[in-house]
Amino acid sequence: IRDVNPGSGAEAAGLKSGDYVLTADGSEVASSADLKAAVDAHEVGEAVQLTILRGGSVIDVSVTLGEYAPAEA
């Protein structure tokens, strides 16, 4: 994960810049395209189950999707 937008579902779930997503809904995530496909399979308000690697620890998190709002420059 490169960036976490303030107020996003990712921030609410505790995701941090530098986290590495291993799986989404039980499927391996090998690229950003894999993660995007997993997220796109859900509607706003639904949760995506992620397994992440952070600092040598494997953590399971549930991210509730919100409306996409690009970060302002």
Q: What's the Cα-to-Cα distance from 42 to each of 18, 64, 69, 73, rounded to whole Å?
A: 24, 10, 16, 27
* pLDDT one-digit tens code per residue, 33-66: 999 999 999 999 999 999 999 999 999 999 999 8
- Percent of the chain predicted with pLDDT > 90: 84
- Within 10 angstroms of residue 55's Cβ, the number of other Cβ atoms is 8
Comparing CA positions, the residue from 20, 17, 23 lying closest to residue 3 is 17
Comparing CA positions, the residue from 1, 36, 27, 25 lying closest to residue 15 is 1
pTM tops 0.75, yes or no: yes
Return the amino acid letter for 42: H
